[in-house]
Amino acid sequence: MKDQIEAYFDRLWPICRSITGNGLRESFSILSELIPFQLSEIPTNTNVLDWTIPEEWNIEEAFIIDPLGNRIVDVKENNLHIVNYSIPFEGIVEWDELVNHLHYKEDLPDAIPYVTSYYKRKWGFCLSYNQYKNLQKSGEYKVVIKSTLTQGSLTFGDILLKGNSQKEIMFSSYLCHPSMANNELSGPLTLAFLYRELSKRENLKYSYRFILAPETIGALAYLSENGEHLKENLLAGMVLTCCGDRAHLAIKKGREENTIANRLIIAALKNQFSTLRVDEFEPYGSDERQFCSPGFNLPVTTLYRSKYSEYKEYHTSLDNKEFICFEAMQENVTSLLKVIDDIENSQIYCRTNPYGEPNMGKRNLYEDLGVNANHSERLHLRMLLLNYCDGKHELDYLIDKFNLSKQIVEQEIEKLLSANLIKAC
Residues near its own copies (CB under 8 A) are 48-52, 83, 103, 105, 113, 115-120, 122, 124, 216, 219-220, 223-224, 227, 255, 282-284, 289-290, 292-296, 308-309, 315, 350-351, 353-359, 361-362, 368-371, 374-375, 380, 383-384, 386-390
**147 has which bridge partners?**
59
Q: How many CB atoms lie within 10 A of CB 99?
A: 13
3-state secondary structure of 208: strand
How far are the Cα atoms of 1, 302, 323 from residue 329, in angstroms, in the given order? 9, 15, 13
Pick the closer one to its own copies by CB: 8 or 85. Answer: 85
Shortest gap between Cβ of 103 and its own copies (angstroms)? 6
Pick the closer one to its own copies by CB: 273 or 284. Answer: 284
The answer to whether 264 touches 258, Cβ cutoff 8 Å, is no
How far are the Cα atoms of 121, 178, 183, 238, 403 from residue 62, in angstroms, in the given order? 16, 15, 24, 37, 66
CA–CA separation, 166 and 185 (whole Å): 30
Pick the closer one to its own copies by CB: 165 or 207. Answer: 165
The answer to whether 134 touches 21, Cβ cutoff 8 Å, is no
Q: Based on C-alpha coordinates, what's the Rg of the chain?
A: 26
The answer to whether 183 touches 241, Cβ cutoff 8 Å, is yes
Shortest gap between Cβ of 373 and its own copies (angstroms)? 12
Pick the closer one to its own copies by CB: 152 or 227. Answer: 227
Shortest gap between Cβ of 50 and its own copies (angstroms)? 4
CA–CA separation, 126 and 113 (whole Å): 6
CA–CA separation, 102 and 303 (whole Å): 34
CA–CA separation, 115 and 296 (whole Å): 30
Shortest gap between Cβ of 137 and its own copies (angstroms)? 20
3-state secondary structure of 252: strand
Report phi then psi at 377, rounded to 5.
Answer: -55, -40
**141 has which bridge partners?**
93
Task: Give me the helix-helix angle, 22-31 and 186-198, nearest 10°.
Answer: 30
Shortest gap between Cβ of 126 and its own copies (angstroms)? 9
Shortest gap between Cβ of 114 and its own copies (angstroms)? 9
Shortest gap between Cβ of 338 and its own copies (angstroms)? 31
CA–CA separation, 49 and 42 (whole Å): 13
Shortest gap between Cβ of 285 and its own copies (angstroms)? 9
Pick the closer one to its own copies by CB: 65 or 379. Answer: 379
Shortest gap between Cβ of 374 and its own copies (angstroms)? 8
CA–CA separation, 99 and 117 (whole Å): 17
Pick the closer one to its own copies by CB: 30 or 350. Answer: 350
Pick the closer one to its own copies by CB: 105 or 415. Answer: 105
Pick the closer one to its own copies by CB: 149 or 219. Answer: 219
Pick the closer one to its own copies by CB: 136 or 374. Answer: 374
